[in-house]
Amino acid sequence: MIDRLTNLVKLIRILRERGNWPLIRHSRQQLRDFLFCRSGMNRKSIFSAVIYWLYMLKGLDVLVWRLETFGFLYLPGQSEETKQRLNTYL
């Protein structure tokens, strides 16, 4: 359980450092559906979603990879020019 709490703190730090805030503000509903497991094939009840996220916090690498894949996190070491180019279509 302590590992999950430390991973949550690490995830918050990663979001602060590498978060794609223009995209997060633009697609709040999509992120909310992602967090509450309400979209696509991953539909779960609220209770199941809490258990799912506790399980996901066990391995932070997969969760960070998913957030990078959806564009909510920038890749490490990206330049400001690349970040601006990624958000040109918002």
Query: What is the end-to-end Cα distance of the chain in Å, rounded?
Result: 38
> Virtual CA dihedral for 47, 49, 55, 59, nearest 10 degrees?
-160
- Percent of the chain predicted with pLDDT > 70: 99
Q: Is the pLDDT of residue 1 over 80?
A: no
pLDDT in tens, 23-46: 889 988 888 888 888 877 778 888
User: What pTM, to 2 d.p., does this model score?
Assistant: 0.77
Count of beta carbons in the 10 Å neighbourhood of residue 74: 20
Mean pLDDT across the stretch 56-66? 87
pLDDT of res. 31: 83
pLDDT, position 16: 93
